[in-house]
Amino acid sequence: MDVLSHLREHQLRSMCTTARYERHEAHRVLFYPHSISTCWYILLSGSVFMKESMFLPRCCFGKQSGGRRGCECIILEPSEMIVVENTNENEENALQREDPHRQSRRRFTKVNPKGERQIITDNVESSSYPPDYADNQMFRLAVQRPIDGRFS
């Protein structure tokens, strides 16, 4: 699965301890505005609609670190998904994309001619990295009316 292809085996095993498979019928609300965010989703089949966007298979959606959700998510057709429980910050850092071509970033302090300290960081331009796969899978959709006139 492309969306998980950047993860190493130990990262996938760690993710499996907090993930589960779910199947949902069409025209149901997956989550409501102001509901507490406890998880995020990887869509395997079907489609969902959230914030004027339609998500298709192999997309990630609903990722939010705690707090309350700002919108609802509607299942447009029978859908299968992996539900990943939110993790603490240390576990999440272990799941971050590792880019073998990425150069290290160095930070150092330099004193300018006025005697002020400046923090200098050597960075690789973000435009040199490939765009996130999941972001490329999202399609915009204008909302005209509910599908089949119902959502619940």
Q: In the CATH scheme, what architecture does the domain 2-95+128-149 have?
A: Sandwich (2.60)
> What was the pLDDT predicted at 121?
65
User: If DSSP codes are grouped into helix, strand and coil, which group holds residue 149?
Assistant: helix
> What was the pLDDT predicted at 138?
38
Give the amino acid at 121: T
Domain range summary for the chain, segments of one domain joined by +: 2-95+128-149
Residue recorded with tokens 């989550």: 31
Task: Please give the torsion angle defined by the CA atoms of residues 149, 80, 41 and 62, in that order, rounded to the nearest 10 degrees.
Answer: -10
**80 contact partners, CB below 8 Å, separation of at least 6:** 21, 22, 23, 43, 44, 45, 46
This model's pTM is above 0.75: no
pLDDT digits (tens, 9 = 90+) for 39-90: 999 999 999 999 999 999 999 999 987 789 999 999 999 999 999 998 765 4
